[in-house]
Structures are given as C-alpha cells and as structure tokens.
Amino acid sequence: MTQSLTIARPDDWHLHLRDGAMLAAVLPETARDFGRAIIMPNLVPPVVTGAQAAAYRDRILAALPEGADFAPLMTLYLTEDTDPEDVAAAHASGLVKAVKLYPAGATTNSASGVSNFENVRPVLEKMAEIGLPLCTHGEVTDHDIDIFDREAVFIDRVLDPIRRSTPGLRVVMEHITTANAADYVKSQDRDLGATITTHHLIINRNHILVGGIKPHYYCLPVAKREEHRIALRKAATSGDKRFFLGTDSAPHLDGDKLAACGCAGCFTATNTMPLLAHLFEEDGALDKLEGFASLNGPAFYGLPVNDAKLTLVKSDTATQFPEKIDTENGPVTVFDPGYPIHWSVAR
Ligand SMILES: NC(=O)N[C@@H](CC(=O)O)C(=O)O
Ligand SMILES: [Zn+2]
Ligand SMILES: [Zn+2]
C-alpha cells in the first residue's frame, strides 16, 4: 500500500551550514527538501556584523546546486560589542531575520557569546523596537548547574528576566529539550515561539548512554529524560502555532564526533522530513505536520508560506537513507533513528 501526503514546502528555522568544504557538502541536503532556513552564525570567527552576514550569504548562494529552490535567512551572532545601529541596518535592508544569543561557553563556537547580559541591553531594546526576533541557545553555563538542568535554569534566571525587562522583544527558544520549556512557551500569550529538532522527538538520554556511548546522539542541549521527549512530541504534534521545526542539523566530521572529547551535534538534514512523517503518523497527527514544518514558522517570522509543495510517500519497503555523506575532509554520519522508516520524499 502506498500512502502520500502533500504539504507546503517546509522551512528549517535553525540550521548549521558551516563554511567551505562542509558547506558545499551539506547545503544540497537541505536545499533538496526545504525552501528556506535560518542560518546559524556560529562560524569561526562568528558572523557578527551585517557585512559578515552579507558575505556569508553570498558564499551560501554560490554553493547552491543549479536550479535549487532555497533561500538562506541570515542571522547575526550577538556579542557584548554588537552595535545596535549595525543590527538595525542589517534588518532594514532585509538581510537579517534574527539575532542569535549564545551564552558564552554554552555550545559549539560560543566563546564570543554573552557573559554579562547588561552589556547587550541596548541591542535587545533596539530589536524590540524594530521587531527583530532574538533566537536563544537557552542553557546557563554555571559550573554548579547540572548539564541536564541547564535549560530549565536558563528560563528562570536569564530568559524570563530578559523578556520582562524588554517588553515587545520577540524570542524564539531554540531546540527546546524539556517539558519546562514547552510549558513556559504555552504559559506566555505573546512574542514567544520555540523550535523543536527532529532528533529530540526521537531520542532521550538513555539512547546516548545505555549499552555504550553513542557519540552521534550527543548534541546540545543534551537529550533529557523520556518524560521530556514525550512533552516535546505533544507540543510538536499539538497544532499549537508557537512550536515549529528547527532541525539544528549540525554537521561535524566523524573524526571530530568519535573522539575522546567529541563535538556536539546531530546531522539530520538528509532525512528529517521522512522521519517527521513517521513520528507524526505514529502519534495520529499527520494532519499537523504541515503546520509544524511549513506554516507556523513563517507565521512567527511574518513571512509568506512557500508556494512550492513537498510530497511524502509511504511504501511497504523501508527507505534506504545514506549512512554518511562525504566531504572533502572526511565523512559526516547521517542521524539514524534506530528503526526502519517507510516514508520518503517524492522526487
Ligand atoms: N546543537 C549542537 O549540539 N551543536 C551546534 C550548536 C548549537 O546549536 O548549540 C553546532 O554548531 O554544532
Ligand atoms: Zn544551540
Ligand atoms: Zn544549533
């Protein structure tokens, strides 16, 4: 039996494309299925200014395959030296769609992030004034806070105070991993949304640690207990417009993942849409997939829904996804849910 589902072409509201050889290898994986993506600015060095974002956008456009139907939506990396006027100009020109907050030291390439939130107050106030969203990596970095508690503590100690003291600031809680974050979003009536990754709908912390450590399941924020995964599944499949897809597809070379100090990130660009079709069907919510992947994000960002469509088909035989994609510097492993998937994207 073949089943099919056609939805508006989806967008990815949180994506790492990197640069150079990695960009060339991973960009086609996203451009195949997605119309647009919010491009994370955590390069080395980071994308801080409007001029750097324009140059990075040009490198992405130059790396796009012939005939691709894909537009990168650029972001700026917030530092304590960020100039509010540069941010405003990059927004006014249409170049930049969000500013990204990394607490210093919270994740991959976050060393230039924010330590003292008072120092970014003028930028946040400017963003509230012009309606430019702040995307947050929501984890505190205090050494005395357990890594599994860092998201919940961030909401209480950092996010809620920032939102209270900056009325009108629009915030996207990126890659949420806890019931605490989902509940916080639901408890607020305006200016707040959240992205959810594909992998956090699939794995809990046991998948990383039971029966041997699984470096390809290690990402930040780290997957939490099963009850949190279930809360994320409920939020994603609920139809609540405040929740939308941000894959956080974060490629690292296998050599950097399979190491004594392995990098954080799951690479899901290749198979995200078939995985989501599987998950939403499992939860009896296939009719909510289009909202999550294609409608709620544009609504939050004030952008039109893509005109193009994407069709997913389900067949009796399991879909064969590539195990790895090759880059000039070595392979990148594609996220493996650990069970067969029968959905694929119709080409
Ligand atoms: N999610 C991750 O585990 N890694 C991301 C950074 C991030 O999104 O926090 C990366 O850039 O590799
Ligand atoms: Zn992050
Ligand atoms: Zn990310």
Mean pLDDT of 97-113: 94
Reply yes or no on whether 248 is catalytic: yes
Residue 2 confidence (pLDDT) = 74
Find the DSSP H helices in the chain: 20-31, 50-63, 84-92, 121-130, 150-154, 160-165, 179-187, 205-209, 226-237, 254-257, 272-282, 289-290, 296-301
Rounded distance from Cα 220 to ligand 1 centre (Å): 6
Rounded distance from Cα 178 to ligand 1 centre (Å): 17
* Rounded Cα gap, residues 54 and 116, in angstroms: 28
Structure tokens at 67: 């005939």
* Rounded Cα gap, residues 16 and 14, in angstroms: 7
Number of domains in the chain: 1
Interval 285-332: pLDDT, tens: 999 999 999 999 999 999 999 999 999 999 999 999 999 999 999 999
- CATH number of domain containing 83: 3.20.20.140
Give me the chain's average pLDDT, please: 98
Q: What is the DSSP letter of 249?
A: B
Give me the helix-helix angle, 50-63 and 20-31, nearest 10°: 70
Q: Closest-lying ligand to the alpha carbon of 265?
A: 1
Q: Is the CB of 220 under 6 A from ligand 1?
A: yes
Rounded distance from Cα 158 to ligand 1 centre (Å): 20
Q: Is the CB of 204 under 6 A from ligand 1?
A: no
Q: What is the DSSP letter of 30?
A: H
Q: Per the omega criterion (within 30 degrees of 0), is the bond before 45 cis? A: yes
Q: Is the CB of 257 under 6 A from ligand 1?
A: no
Q: Is the pTM above the cut of 0.90?
A: yes
Atom of ligand 1 nearest to the CA of 107: 9
Interval 152-201: pLDDT, tens: 999 999 999 999 999 999 999 999 999 999 999 999 999 999 999 999 99
Does the ipTM exceed 0.95? yes
Domain that holds residue 287: 3-345
